[in-house]
Amino acid sequence: MLDTTPPPTGHGHAVADLNGNLFAALRASFPDDLDACAIEIADGADTGKRYSWRDLDRATAMIANLLDSLDLPAGSRVAVQTEKSVESLLLYLAVLRAGYVYLPLNTAYQAAELEYFIGNSEPAVVVCAGKHFGWVSKMAFQAKVPWVFTLNEDRTGTLLDRAVQMPDTHQAAERGADDLAVILYTSGTTGRSKGAMLSHGNMLANARTLKHYWGWRADDVLIHALPIFHIHGLFVASHGALIAGARMLWFNKFDARGVIARLPDATLFMGVPTLYVRMLEHAALTREACARMRLFISGSAPLLIETFNDWRRRTGHTILERYGMSETVMLTSNPYREQDGERIGGTVGFPLPGVGLRVVDDAGAPCSTEGDGEIGHLQVQGPNVFSGYWRMPEKTKEEFTADGWFKTGDVGRRDARGYVTIVGRSKDLIITGGYNVYPAEIEGWLNELPGVAESAVVGVPHPDFGEGVIAVVVPRPGASLDGAVLVAALKDRIAHFKVPKQVFVEPELPRNTMGKVQKNLLRERHRELFT
């Protein structure tokens, strides 16, 4: 395995870093001038508010001291469902600092989903928005969660009320590289979500590799406009800026016009493809607006070649597309430096230094990389790859090969030059607007509705979201169903991004001779629905 640790950068503290705690490594990368600006808020009521590096250090110390004061057992989970704010990032850093396990939850999740996550992860602390305290605390206390705090977008709530009474220094808890730092729930193809367990070492290895590979510098300014309950915004973006000692321009919500207006002050932007599509709709996106920008990065879902080309024509910049997943953080990237090669649209570039990637056929034999390369299953290995799914040893075993490679579930190829291209997902995952939707989960919800015999959920091309979720349902004998009523019923139960945009009622589902639903036929049938 390659050593992915880049040489020292010459700034920050020369810490003999025996502590493998990710926070300790991020803290060691803070600039010497702790009064310099670390984060500037770029939208909402607090526009212009600045947080210095010292603010980050003190606030995370206070929250970490609060957590320590609760006498939580080692390895306790801290589950967090709050709107994006700088304070929610500080809470994440404080959980790392105190050595507990952070568990971010998508703000779109509703009661039934939250109940599962809380029941499955058994957190010691839940932090939610004040407006949800009533039902969340009831559910949490029923699940025997001892502590529930609130944290609101406007810096109010019981978490900070308690934290401000705490000392503002804190010695980061000693953690080894293999110690659990974060559990990220990914929806399960069987309908049940799995908690991917990421260690301090998994994330630190990846952050260091990306710092080096993408040429992060202390004078970079990152526009941070992604949600922070997901690896893209929480790890790739935040870790990147923090470990470079670089400033963030912080948007609590993505707004194309607002982001474009701040491009002249920034050097780096990370987005899911949908964000690029939205920005291209504005005439204000020009070469001049991007003159200071160093790098645009896209990931989490396939970037259409049209978007890649339109962006280059309009701004003069070539988007760098990369590929990763919750279980592994980042795996591949198009090159940043010219000497490493060209950024090729439609590909996700090369495996990152230290990451092993192989393409294998159904029998596990290596696929050819001649010419465009043979299509097969992508399997990966490396210091960034997670150790398994929370309390699912059987599932974990299934997802690793006997020789220790993780089966990504993605299907792709690697060409003669080494570029990797993702062509599909063996697990049928739908990605809509950068969010993952697992058909089996939505089918489970649909099948519970009165009058539904069975259902099939697929993604079809959508000009805005990449893929749009649609469903086909078969009524029970004698029942009459209305697709719009089913859509409305789901909207009360699950996150809206998961709800099918359209539900078709049909007498039967197409099946092959093995009895499997032929989803490819459904996709074909409704292919032009949104285009």
Judged by the rule CB under 6 A, the positions of this chain that interact with ligand AMP are: 186, 231, 299-302, 321, 323-326, 348, 408-410, 422, 425, 429, 431, 436
Closest by CA to 392, choosing from 148, 215, 146, 192, is: 192
Question: How many Å apart are CA 481 and CA 429, to the nearest integer?
Answer: 26
Alpha-helix runs per DSSP H in 145-266: 158-163, 200-213, 231, 240-244, 256-262
- Rounded to the nearest 5°, which phi and psi values hold at 459? -105, 140
CB 207 within 8 A of CB 235: yes
Task: Compute the least distance from the CB of residue 347 to ligand AMP, in Å.
Answer: 9
Task: Compute the least distance from the CB of residue 135 to ligand AMP, in Å.
Answer: 26
Question: How many Å apart are CA 438 and CA 405, to the nearest integer?
Answer: 23
Task: Compute the least distance from the CB of residue 301 to ligand AMP, in Å.
Answer: 5
- Residue 378 neighbours by CB distance under 10 Å: 28
Task: Compute the least distance from the CB of residue 90 to ligand AMP, in Å.
Answer: 23
Residue among 99 and 412 whose Cβ is closer to ligand AMP: 412
Residue among 11 and 312 whose Cβ is closer to ligand AMP: 312
- Rounded to the nearest 5°, which phi and psi values hold at 33? -85, 95
**Structure token pair of residue 454:** 């069975």
Strand positions, DSSP E, 392-451: 406-414, 420-425, 430-432, 435-437
CB 479 within 8 A of CB 451: yes
Residue with tokens 């001049």: 288
Task: Compute the least distance from the CB of residue 308 to ligand AMP, in Å.
Answer: 11
Residue among 75 and 424 whose Cβ is closer to ligand AMP: 424
Question: How many Å apart are CA 72 and CA 229, to the nearest integer?
Answer: 23
DSSP code at position 338: G
Strand positions, DSSP E, 116-215: 125-128, 147-150, 180-186, 194-199
**Helices 133-142/111-121 angle, 10° precision:** 40
Question: How many Å apart are CA 136 and CA 150, to the nearest integer?
Answer: 10
Residue among 80 and 431 whose Cβ is closer to ligand AMP: 431
Residue among 411 and 487 whose Cβ is closer to ligand AMP: 411
Q: Work out whether strand 320-325 and strand 295-298 pair parallel, antiparallel, or are unpaired.
A: parallel
Task: Compute the least distance from the CB of residue 411 to ligand AMP, in Å.
Answer: 9
Question: How many Å apart are CA 177 and CA 167, to the nearest integer?
Answer: 27
Task: Compute the least distance from the CB of residue 328 to ligand AMP, in Å.
Answer: 8
Task: Compute the least distance from the CB of residue 12 to ligand AMP, in Å.
Answer: 29
Task: Compute the least distance from the CB of residue 409 to ligand AMP, in Å.
Answer: 6
Task: Compute the least distance from the CB of residue 3 to ligand AMP, in Å.
Answer: 26
- In the three-class reduction of DSSP (H, G, I as helix; E, B as strand; rest coil), residue 431 is classed as strand
Task: Compute the least distance from the CB of residue 421 to ligand AMP, in Å.
Answer: 9
Task: Compute the least distance from the CB of residue 186 to ligand AMP, in Å.
Answer: 5
Residue among 153 and 399 whose Cβ is closer to ligand AMP: 399
Residue among 167 and 463 whose Cβ is closer to ligand AMP: 463
Question: How many Å apart are CA 226 and CA 251, to the nearest integer?
Answer: 8
Contacts of 48 by beta carbon, 8 Å cutoff, 6+ apart: 40, 41
DSSP code at position 69: H
Residue among 98 and 319 whose Cβ is closer to ligand AMP: 319
Residue among 235 and 251 whose Cβ is closer to ligand AMP: 235
Residue among 357 and 474 whose Cβ is closer to ligand AMP: 357
Residue among 86 and 181 whose Cβ is closer to ligand AMP: 181
**Structure token pair of residue 153:** 């977008």
Question: What type of residue is 351?
Answer: P
Contacts of 396 by beta carbon, 8 Å cutoff, 6+ apart: 388, 389
Residue among 245 and 349 whose Cβ is closer to ligand AMP: 349
